[in-house]
Amino acid sequence: MYVAEHPERVRRRLVPDAVQVQIVLGSLLGRARIEGAAGERRMRVAHGVADAEYAWWKYDRLGALTADPPVVRGDEIAFATIAHPLFDELAPFFVTRRGARTVHALLAPLGLAVWMSDRGRLRLRAELFVPTRRGFAITADALALTADALALTA
């Protein structure tokens, strides 16, 4: 008799695509946090209710890595990912400032845009992120991306 494996265990073996990795990296450099013990680590993403569209955009793009849809609690909208080996691999990089700086080298333009959006430096316009378009549109209220704006100030 064949016994099927639990879907959550199967989802843990899915390899995140390049877009998902950039969203995870940018989010972790921004306001997201890794939670849980080794083997059970997941990412928690939280934004202000005013950024609900942005939170839903992240949720949609992270796809199979997400656990439950975003929930509004008070003045924040939040969701968590499933426990995944990716977060076990990334956790050591976010313990020290030096580790987070190592992550900078892995950032592509999307990861940088997510990071800056999470920090309030840029505003991602979700309506411009169409599946057929490879470029990513961002707008900046004040285009003052100086060296200190790009420096890690955790």
Instruction: Please give the pLDDT value at position 39.
Output: 92
Task: Provide the domain count of the chain.
Answer: 1
How many residues are recorded in the chain?
A: 154
* Average pLDDT over all residues of the chain: 80
CATH of the domain at 57: 3.10.28
Q: What is the pLDDT of residues 25-77, one digit of tens each?
A: 999 999 999 999 999 999 999 999 999 999 999 999 998 899 899 999 999 99
Cα-Cα-Cα-Cα dihedral of 143, 104, 19, 113, to 10°? Answer: -10
Domain range enclosing 67: 7-150
Give the residue from 47, 53, 49, 50 showing the smallest Cα distance to 79: 47
Whether 146 shows a pLDDT value over 80: the answer reads no
How many CA atoms within 13 Å lie on the side-chain side of 51?
20
Taking 70 as the threshold, does the pLDDT of residue 150 lie above it? no
More confident position, 107 or 127 = 107
Is residue 1 domain-resident? no
Note the helical H segments in the chain.
Answer: 7-12, 18-29, 52-62, 85-90, 97-104, 109-118, 147-150
Burial of 27 per CB tally in 10 Å (0-12, 13-18, 19+): buried
Nearest to 62 by CA among 111, 34, 124, 20: 20
Contacts of 74 (CB under 8 A, 6+ apart): none
Residue 49 lies in a domain: yes
Does residue 2 sit within a domain?
Answer: no
